[in-house]
Every structure is written in structure tokens, then in C-alpha cells.
Amino acid sequence: MKLSVPYNRKKIEINLPEHNFAGMIEPNELTAAGSPESLIWDALNSSSGSLDYNEMINGSGSLLVIVNDGTRPTPTRQVLDVIADDLAAANAKFIIATGVHRGPTEEEYRFIFGRHYDRFADAIFVHDARKDEEMVYLGTSGQGTEMYINRKGYEADKIIAIGSVEPHYFAGYTGGRKAILPGIASYRTIEQNHSHAISLDAQTLKLAGNPVHMDMVDALKTLKDKKIFSIMTVMDKLHNIYRVTAGDILVSFDDAVSAANEIFTTTIPQKADIVISCAGYPMDVDLYQAQKAIDNGKLALNEGGILILVSACREGVGEAAYIELLSSCKTPEEVVDKIKATYRLGFHKAAKMAEISTWAQIWAKTELEGKLLENIFIQPVSDLQAAVDEALQQKGANAKIWILPDGAVTVPLAEPGQNHCGN
């Protein structure tokens, strides 16, 4: 049977014997209750919590709008289709919540703002976490994280955060509180927060007891009486708007989490010996982002199995600290031991990758150099079809293969006790 998977904004075709194909694990097929415009307006007119959209727009004081960068699928441009005139009338300024990512390219500015880019270009600021002179210290979170945020966020009288909510491999979910931390926080603040990612409680779908999430929520409290109105979107499997929530940043986030679970969590009857997990555009920007497809793919993989990442990694590896750490060790177990002794930003990425490498093989079809991948315990793949054939040869003629075409956000949940598929 012929199948295709996304790669670098195109498709790669592969042939599989039908008896080896366990199926596609995809976001659930659910239909939105209305047009994107109506969903956005309905959310704004029935905002949750104590904050009201009209008061945010029409009230006195300066207004800052926080938007995601180009590595997120957030449909900011569609939200702006509805509220751009209101923002212009309020003389709103924008800040792109890059966290520790680089600033947007021209193409990414157009992706984020759509037809509104030219209108607001002069009012857009790009956050740079490494510029300490642009940060303001606001105290510490309950877990001791020093809270430095961008001065523009501190000085604004009101904030509107536009984001999207999907599962996240160590924060539980994206969106909501992440607009502030890591969105417009300093490098040192993000590093301290992300150090909690090596905890076993820092995992996808988990909020209660997740130290990364709790730290982000605590960090919001250092903003004290700042009014932060949130517009959160949840996308369907075709990247269309499925649900919109609005209002208080924490309440609207919780509302969006419920909708995200409806889309992105998929129950599977059994795990398999081979999993192909894809991170397509825009998550294929680098290995740092694409790794999320590895972390989700492992949930459908048997111990001792082969996980094949398919992602272009167009701009390399991203934050280099995790590559340096992985490359400096002879075994994945040594990586884990080193991280326990010390932490730098990016080490959580190494920890997640090393953990999988202790019980499974990771292969990858990317644009990265083969030697680089080999140095971090990943087998490079030049031809996906050849890799699939080799995997079947290793795991046996009856081995089953799951495919995650949108692995960066799809969370497979194996039924309890059903941990083997094939062979």
C-alpha cells in the first residue's frame, strides 16, 4: 500500500505491506461549531473570568499584544482579521514572544500577521531574552525562579495574549501562561524554569504536580495586578480553528485545555515495534522543535523498537547546548547522569532524547549532517523507504508500524495492558 508523510512542505511516499500497517495516529476529526470569525467573536463576547474584552480595548492606558513567533501554528492573523481595527484604535503595540528563539524572518512575519503586517509593522517589537538591559526584575516564583520579564510587558497597563493550546512534552500544554514565561521572559528566567523539565512529573498532558507548569503559574503572580486578557485558539487536524476561548489568562487556558484534549489525544489499542513520527511546518524549523515528535511518538512504541523521526530541521539543531551535551557522552545513560549533576538551558531536551535512547532506537530523516546525528545517538536516514525496509527486516516480517503525520502535537494513549503490537 502507498502512503505519504509530510516533509519540508512536501510529501514523501512510502510503500508498506498492508499487514505491517497498524494505522495513522492523527488528531481527531472534529468540526468547529461555526466560522473562525464567529468563534472568535463568540469567545470575546462571553469571556471567562473577571476581564472583559470591551474594557480592555476601550479603557484607558497603554495596550500591549503578545503574539507567538513563527514556530507555533497559532492563527494570529485570523484573530487579527476580527480585532485589528479595535487594536489600531487603541494604539496597541505588539511583542513577539520568542522565548529563547531567534527573531522572525520576513516570511514568518507574514505567516504571523498575514495581511495586517504592513499595517502594524512599525508597532511590532521582537523579544530578545539575552538582552538583560531590556528586562525588569519582578521577584521570585513560589519555586524560586527569578522573574525577569521584558520591560514592555512590565510597563504596559494592559496585555492581550494571543496563543494556541496543544499538548506540550514537558509543560503539559502550550498556551496561556506561556505567553509570559517563557514568551517574554529573560534567558536566566527561562533557564531556571526549564530546569524543572527533567522531573518525571514534567510530561505531556500533565498539569497537576507538573513543576514547570506550576512555576509558570506562580510567575504570573509576580505581575500582581496586571490585567492580562487571553485569546486562546485550538486547531483541528487540518490546522483550522476548532475552538476559541477568551478572558482571564488562567481561566481561558483551562477552557482551551479541555478542547485540546478532544482534538489531540488519541487512544490506540496497542503499541508497535516501529513508529514513524513527523514534525512538519512550522515545527520542522530545527531539531530542538522537531524533538517533540520523538517524545510523542515514543508513547506508541514498544520497548526495543525503532522510532523514525521525519522532519527537515530546516535551520539546523536550534539551541546548541543539548547537542554539545549529547555529543560529549559515550552513552545515553552518561547523559542522564551529567544532567543530574548540573543544568543549562537545553539540557532538558538532551534528557528527553537520552531517556528514549536507553530503551529504543531513534532514526531520523532530516537535512542534518549524518555525523552530527550519530554523535547524539540517532541513526541518520537518507532514504525513508530504505529505512522502513531495514526496520522491518530488523523487527520481523510481522512487525507493525504506526505513523504520526503530525507527531509534534498528537498524543497516542495506549489502552492499559495493551503494550505489544505484532511479532
Over residues 377-421, the pLDDT tens digits come to 999 999 999 999 999 999 999 999 999 999 999 999 997 655 444
Average pLDDT, integer, range 38-63: 92
The contacts of residue 151 (CB under 8 Å, 6+ apart) are: 134, 135, 136
Over residues 316-346, the pLDDT tens digits come to 999 889 999 999 999 999 998 898 888 888 8
Distance CA(405)–CA(275), nearest Å, equals 11
Average pLDDT, integer, range 76-92: 98
**What is the distance of C-alpha 296 from the center of its chain?**
11
Q: Which CATH number fits domain 36-263: 3.40.50.11440, 3.40.980.10, 3.40.50.300, 3.40.630.10?
A: 3.40.50.11440
* Coil vs helix vs strand at 204: coil
Annotated domain spans of the chain: 2-28+269-414, 36-263
- Amino acid of residue 209: G
Q: 51: left (phi > 0), else alpha (psi -120 to 50), else beta?
A: beta
Q: What is the 3-state secondary structure (H, E, C) of 172-184?
A: EECCHHHHCCCCC
* Residue 367: all three cell numbers together: 537535512
Q: 224: left (phi > 0), else alpha (psi -120 to 50), else beta?
A: left
Asked if residue 190 has pLDDT above 90, the reply is: yes
Element (H, E) at 384: helix 384-395
Q: Which pLDDT belongs to residue 362?
A: 98
Over residues 127-148, the pLDDT tens digits come to 999 999 999 999 998 889 999 9
Q: Which pLDDT belongs to residue 417?
A: 58
Please, are residues 220 and 249 in contact by the beta-carbon 8 Å criterion?
Answer: yes
CATH no. for 2-28+269-414: 3.90.226.30
Question: ∠ CA(173), CA(180), CA(137), 5° rounding?
Answer: 140
Measured in degrees and rounded to the nearest 5, phi and psi for residue 88 equal -65, -45
Report percent pLDDT > 90 for the chain. 86
Rounded mean pLDDT of the chain?
Answer: 94
Strand partners, 68: 97
Q: Which pLDDT belongs to residue 220?
A: 87
The contacts of residue 94 (CB under 8 Å, 6+ apart) are: 64, 65, 66, 67, 120, 123, 124, 125
Q: Which pLDDT belongs to residue 226?
A: 87
Asked if residue 27 has pLDDT above 80, the reply is: yes
Measured in degrees and rounded to the nearest 5, phi and psi for residue 200 equal -65, -20
Please name which of 325, 147, 283 lies closest in space to residue 223, comparing C-alpha atoms: 147
Distance CA(70)–CA(101), nearest Å, equals 10
Distance CA(159)–CA(185), nearest Å, equals 15
